[in-house]
């Protein structure tokens, strides 16, 4: 079975690739989890984050953004003191801040998913060149979204982080054409094939 080459590091990455990466996410709690994982990943390998995902879930109340939004300095210290946690205070504080911003976006748009999917008219995007392996770390769309999110107060949400979030949550299908998941996702979800930005 053909897969995107980045995932063949270990069974955990293969499972993530086969079951999650590129699958459209419209649940806000799942969106917040993915966004928080991307924040934690800045400067680290994705494998490091996946290996500690359960610790992160426990530290952030299963990524319940309403609970996380109410965290205090005591919670920051609790998280920092948790065995196995990625001890990056600024990232932990950013996730708490982002939860508060997340709530404001939900108030304005009804859901964070409605806000985010509005950028793609509700469709998963397939960029023509990407399916052949020409995948950039960011693009014009991720830059526009990152700029808007920063304007709304979110942190650690640059164009590269947002591009990775869009890949993970299925706004962009960046599986290679030779990967078994590429065609499966196109067949099951509303997709638009467009030129590279």
Question: How many Å apart are CA 124 and CA 128, to the nearest integer?
Answer: 13
Give the span between the Cα atoms of 46 and 94, in whole angstroms.
18
> Burial level of 11, CB count in 10 A (0-12/13-18/19+)?
exposed
Among 16, 20, 119, 189, the active-site one is 16
**Domain parsing of the chain, residue ranges:** 5-194
Specify the pTM: 0.96
pLDDT score at 146: 98
User: Does 163 participate in catalysis according to the annotation?
Assistant: no
Mean pLDDT by 10 residues, the chain (197 residues): 92 97 98 98 95 98 98 98 97 98 98 98 94 90 98 98 98 96 95 86
CA distance 172 to 168: 8
pLDDT of residue 1: 85
Q: Does 21 qualify as catalytic in the annotation?
A: no
Q: Which CATH class is domain 5-194?
A: mainly alpha
Give the pLDDT score at 196: 78
Active site residue 192: no
Active-site annotation holder among 46, 117, 127, 163: 46
């Amino acid at each position: 079975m053909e897969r995107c080459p980045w995932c063949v590091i270990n069974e955990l990455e293969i499972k993530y690739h086969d079951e999650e990466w590129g699958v459209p996410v419209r649940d806000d709690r799942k969106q917040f989890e993915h966004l928080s994982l991307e924040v934690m990943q800045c400067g680290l390998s994705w494998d490091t984050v996946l290996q500690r995902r359960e610790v992160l879930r426990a530290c952030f109340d299963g990524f319940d953004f309403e609970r996380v939004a109410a965290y205090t300095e005591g919670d920051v210290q609790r998280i920092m003191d948790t065995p196995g946690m990625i001890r990056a205070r600024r990232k932990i504080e950013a996730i708490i801040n982002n939860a508060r911003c997340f709530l404001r976006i939900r108030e304005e748009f009804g859901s964070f998913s409605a806000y985010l999917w509005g950028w793609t008219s509700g469709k998963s995007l397939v960029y023509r060149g990407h399916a052949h392996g020409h995948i950039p770390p960011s693009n014009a769309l991720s830059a526009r979204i990152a700029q808007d999110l920063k304007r709304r107060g979110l942190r650690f949400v640059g164009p590269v982080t947002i591009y990775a979030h869009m890949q993970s949550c299925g706004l962009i299908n960046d599986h290679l054409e030779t990967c078994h998941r590429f065609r499966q996702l196109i067949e099951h979800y509303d997709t638009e094939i467009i030129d590279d930005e």
